[in-house]
Structure 1
Amino acid sequence: MKYNDTMTVLEHIAELRKRILLVAAVFILSMIAGLIAAPYVLTLLKLHSPAFQVTWNVFSPWDGLRIYMSIGIVLSLLPTLPFALYQTWLFVNQGLSGREQKAALRFVPFSAICFIIGVAFAYFVVFPMSLAFTTGINSQMNLVETYGVSQYFGFMFSIIIPLSLAFELPVVVLFLTRIGILSPSILHSMRRYAYVLLVIIAALISPPDLVSHLMVAIPLIALYEISTWLASWMYRKRELEVEHADTDGVQLSL
């Protein structure tokens, strides 16, 4: 179905339903592939952990199945998220100008790259530091460390997933600046409130200690500052394009 100016509400709903079904189909297929690959990924994570080697214990008959499904879901998100963004672009592109359509499509692959960078940063940097700190506290208190596989992966996913999504912030800010919704002045005026919100988010997704809060909050604040810098660059570029377009229009009218 192609978009046009006379599409009814029901036609828009039918188009949205088709996009959602396509995303669901990709998610299911990716989930199947993720479940097939889950045992191999689990073995790889166990043999090549960025943190120290730990013994995973099972404290419930459901722990193995829960981790198996969790890994399958996480793996299925890797192809599903970019595809969902592309389907979103297909759904809304007719409501955008030609310039906005190109800008939105260009940011789809960048969002996938940022997500992968976020996963790598969380897994290889933040997760080992958080685990080392918590185990250091346990050692000082002479506690015997017996890790359950469910608790271990729950701790890991609670760090990796929020940070990976947070790495999408520069892409979102760039896109909104490109289409004229955001500007550097808005981001600068919101800085103090954004810092408070990011610190709260860091406290919610990190272990309950000050060092872990800082290890998560500092990258989030750095991402906001990077987004602000990129927004300033994109805003200047957009202003130059508008200025050149106005100049070309005046020359054509003459």
Structure 2
Amino acid sequence: MENKDIHLIEHLDELRQRIIKVVSAFILFFIGAFIFVQDIYNWLIRDLDGKLVVLGPSDILWVYMAISCVFAIAATIPIAAYQTWKFIAPALTKDESKVTLRFIPGLFILFIFGICFGYFVLFPIVLGFLMSMSAGQFKTMFTADKYFRFIINLILPFGFLFEMPLAVMFLTRLGILNPVRLARARKLSYFVLIVVSILITPPDFISDILVIIPLLVLYELSVTISKVVYKQRLVNEVTV
């Protein structure tokens, strides 16, 4: 009993150290992004006619911190994944440990791809649609706070959601998931993805559809990938 307590304390201490490393990396990346935040801000508003409005000094600080935070999250993902791998590696087999390590670069790449999809593809469509509704009816004036909240709420979830295929591939490779389970959970998964899309988009039907369709395609892509990986896993087991 005493040995178990000591073992648990050692695990908790290791977990604490790895969390500290991840948080420290996030802070460093945040500071680095904040140094260049004005250049990033100018690039993000390059297509806007005129300047954004702020209602107080705190809005300026919030916008700069929000931009820096998104960049810091993106940069911290591979470090957080690596620290997670280091923590669980002793419980994995040698083969599982190697496979898990290979997925870390993919997490970062897919997160960036999701952010880019949200910003370069989805955001202009949604913003253009909303602006067309106000054409000739309202005088449009964007505040910096509202504008960047809208961007972040729209694109940041896509960074994480685009990692779905890789996560499914990883869990299938470890035998935790399989295509049959994913097929059975299709209705529930569709429901969850639809709810997520409604929560992260403006309250209009077109925006919801524009977000729902890519998410459902991502899920079906995940199922297809799971089938391929599952078949390969069965072949490897038979060979062994």
Same fold flag (TM > 0.5): yes
Q: Deviations over 1:163-207 (max 9, x none)?
A: 111101111101100000000000111111111111111000001
Match for residue 195 of structure 2 among 200, 225, 229: 200
Q: How far is 1:139 from its partner? A: 1.4
Pairs within 5 Å for 1:107-118: 107-118=103-114
Q: Deviations over 1:9-42 (max 9, x none)?
A: 0110111111011111111111110110111101
8 Å contact 1:57–1:148 — kept in the other structure? yes
- Code of the residue aligned with 2:69 in structure 1: it is I
Deviating beyond 6 angstroms after TM superposition, the runs of 4 or more aligned structure 1 residues are none
Unaligned runs of 5+ in 2: none
**Residue 180 of structure 2: aligned partner:** 185
Which is further off, 205-214 or 21-30?
21-30
**Residue 94 of structure 2: aligned partner:** 98
- Code of the residue aligned with 1:220 in structure 2: it is L
In the superposition, the TM-score normalised over structure 1's length comes to 0.90
8 Å contact 1:93–1:101 — kept in the other structure? yes
Unaligned runs of 5+ in 1: 246-254
8 Å contact 1:119–1:164 — kept in the other structure? yes
Alignment pair present for 1:151 and 2:138: no
8 Å contact 1:54–1:147 — kept in the other structure? no
**Residue 125 of structure 1: aligned partner:** 121
**Residue 176 of structure 1: aligned partner:** 171
Hey, what's the Cα distance between the residues in 2 that align with 1:23 and 1:197? 29
Please, what is the CA RMSD of the aligned residues? 1.5
Pairs within 5 Å for 1:63-102: 63-102=59-98
**Residue 44 of structure 1: aligned partner:** 43
Compared CA separation, residues 194 and 54, structure 1 to 2 (3 A): farther
Hey, what's the Cα distance between the residues in 2 that align with 1:219 and 1:53? 29
**Residue 12 of structure 1: aligned partner:** 11
Instruction: Give the 3-state SS of the residue equivalent to 2:176 in structure 1.
Output: coil
Alignment pair present for 1:233 and 2:228: yes
Which is further off, 60-69 or 220-229?
60-69
Q: How far is 1:61 from its partner? A: 2.2
Q: How far is 1:53 from its partner? A: 3.7
Hey, what's the Cα distance between the residues in 2 that align with 1:54 and 1:23? 39
Hey, what's the Cα distance between the residues in 2 that align with 1:71 and 1:153? 8
**Residue 252 of structure 1: aligned partner:** none
Q: How far is 1:55 from its partner? A: 3.2
Identity %: 36
Q: How far is 1:6 from its partner? A: 11
**Residue 219 of structure 1: aligned partner:** 214
Alignment pair present for 1:242 and 2:233: no
Match for residue 138 of structure 1 among 129, 134, 137: 134
In the superposition, the TM-score normalised over structure 2's length comes to 0.95
Alignment pair present for 1:164 and 2:159: yes
